[in-house]
Amino acid sequence: MSVLITNKSAISQKSAAILALLLGLMSVFTGSKVLLEIDTKNYNILFWLVAYNVIFGAISIIVAYFIWKNYSKSKSLTFFVLSMHFIVFIYLKFISETAASESIKAMLFRTSVWILITILSLIIPKYLSKQVK
């Protein structure tokens, strides 16, 4: 029984790492295209937000590696990325008067995926470890 729970925990963490990696790669790739003016948009671009997305895309790739390797630092980094995305989402949605709806939706998507990553990498393994005891 404990081997099965350990396998479920590992699968949950690996799934979280893959999600973090994919989201990070996507953020770096799409954001870099905008910053390098390879890709143009038909709406107001907040360059600070694009730079933020590229930086946090790179951080997401690092966090994905930490989650995959089950490093203890992955917990605090996961909460850090989720918190930052949530704060930026709140700012874009309720404070900024210049953010395009596409930017708000993209940040909502990032925040939602990081909630899922947090559940898969931290909450489910913690719950499963209690089942073993």
pLDDT for res 133? 58
Tens of each residue's pLDDT in the chain, 133 residues:
566 657 888 999 999 999 999 999 999 999 999 999 898 777 788 999 999 999 999 999 999 999 999 999 999 999 999 999 999 999 999 999 999 999 999 999 999 999 999 999 999 998 887 776 5
pLDDT for res 55? 98
pTM: 0.91
Residue 70 backbone zone (phi > 0: left; psi -120 to 50: alpha; other: beta):
left
pLDDT for res 7? 85
pLDDT for res 3? 65
- How many CA atoms lie less than 13 Å away from 82 in the CB half-sphere? 17
3-state helix, strand, coil in the chain (%, to 5): 85, 0, 15
